[in-house]
Amino acid sequence: MSEQTIDLTANERAAIRAFATRGETIHEVERRSDREFDLSLKGEKDWGLDEPVRFSAWLPLSAIREFTDWPDPSIGGMADYPSMAIAGDWSGIRDSDEETIWAIFEEHAIDPLLEAGGPERIDEVIHVELHKMIYLCIEGLNDLAEEQIGKGVLSDISYEVVGHEGNTIQLRVTAEVYE
């Protein structure tokens, strides 16, 4: 992603990760409005050609195309041009009114998009002073890991001792991050 910093929700970050599962690399994200997921994306996709193909996309429309079976009558039938969409003509959806696209996105694309993006995975080493180990139960260790890593709530956590320095042990923490 570009150096430009915008605030993204956890769901928006998961959505962007989902596009990476389809071979897309997102270089720039621009917020179009305060509405969640109202993002313009710019990046590259590897189609197996000599060079990646550059693209720009509106997240809701791109998610409908990439993460749904949009010609299905339950989805294509919601478009402003249902007969075109159901027949497999993408312009039946693409040329629909923006609110129609939002309705299709919210009803059919959000869940598969977020499922494909999944939670962020981390793998970091934290340092714990040995005298604190005596007082830490596993919940306390989890809290300490969350505090040192600073990425939100951790789930499905595993620890591995990877070393020590003086009176501090080093633990590798592998976990899923939720906010």
Give pLDDT tens digits along the chain (179 positions): 444 568 899 899 899 989 887 888 899 999 999 999 999 999 998 878 888 899 999 999 999 999 999 999 999 999 999 999 999 999 999 999 999 999 999 999 999 999 888 766 667 777 777 656 655 666 677 777 788 888 777 777 887 888 888 877 788 888 887 76
- Let me know if residue 5 belongs to a domain: no
- Count Cβ neighbours within 10 Å for each residue of 40-79 and write b for 16 or more, e otherwise: ebebebeeeeeeeeeeebbbbbbbbebbbebbeeebbebb
Q: Distance of alpha carbon 97 from its chain centroid, rounded? A: 26
Domain match, 83 and 107 both? yes
- Let me know if residue 147 belongs to a domain: yes
Q: Is 145 left (phi over 0), alpha (psi -120 to 50) or beta?
A: alpha
Domain match, 25 and 45 both? yes
- What pLDDT sits at residue 165? 80
Instruction: Write the CB contacts of 39 (distance below 8 Å, at least 6 apart in sequence).
Output: 8, 12, 15, 29, 30, 31, 32, 58, 59
Give the span between the Cα atoms of 4 and 28, in whole angstroms: 8
Give the span between the Cα atoms of 119 and 14, in whole angstroms: 7
Nearest partner of 117 among 40, 48, 17, 30, judged by Cα? 17
Contact of 52 with 25, CB cutoff 8 Å: yes
Domain match, 68 and 54 both? yes
Domain match, 105 and 24 both? yes
Domain match, 87 and 132 both? no
Contact of 81 with 95, CB cutoff 8 Å: yes
Domain match, 95 and 53 both? yes
- What pLDDT sits at residue 130? 63
Domain match, 90 and 38 both? yes
Q: Is 128 exposed, middle or buried (0-12, 13-18, 19+ CB in 10 A)?
A: buried
- What pLDDT sits at residue 139? 66
- Let me know if residue 1 belongs to a domain: no
Number of domains in the chain: 2
Q: What does pTM read for this prediction?
A: 0.66
User: Which structural domain range is residue 39 located in?
Assistant: 10-117
